[in-house]
Amino acid sequence: MHYIRCMSIDNTPDFQRGWDAAIAAARSWHAAKAKQCLVLARRNRFPKNLERESEFHTQSAEQLAMLSWDDV
């Protein structure tokens, strides 16, 4: 299957600043969700699911650091 890009994006300084801000926001959201899940896991009778969800958010935050605008 071939994908055709409908528009070309020039990597201008404004675009790069916006991209960096969006990635930072997504990373901080995932990090906050990971901490929230760990706190809830301590209070829950069945913590394994919440611990897995926390690990997912931690990995997502780490992978976002490697994401480039060319990947999208």
Q: What would the pLDDT profile of 17-35 be if each residue is shown by its tens digit?
A: 998 999 999 999 999 999 9
Read off the pLDDT band of 58 (50, 70, 90). very high
Rounded distance, CA 41 to CA 13, Å?
42
Query: Each residue of 6-16: pLDDT tens digit?
Result: 455 677 889 88
Please state the pTM of the whole predicted model: 0.75
Chain-wide mean pLDDT for the chain? Answer: 85
The predicted structure's pLDDT at residue 1: 47
Are the C-beta atoms of residues 27 and 61 closer than 8 Å to each other? yes
DSSP string spanning the chain? -----SS-----HHHHHHHHHHHHHHHHHHHHHHHHHHHHHHH-S--HHHHHHHHHHHHHHHHHTT--GGG-
The predicted structure's pLDDT at residue 28: 96
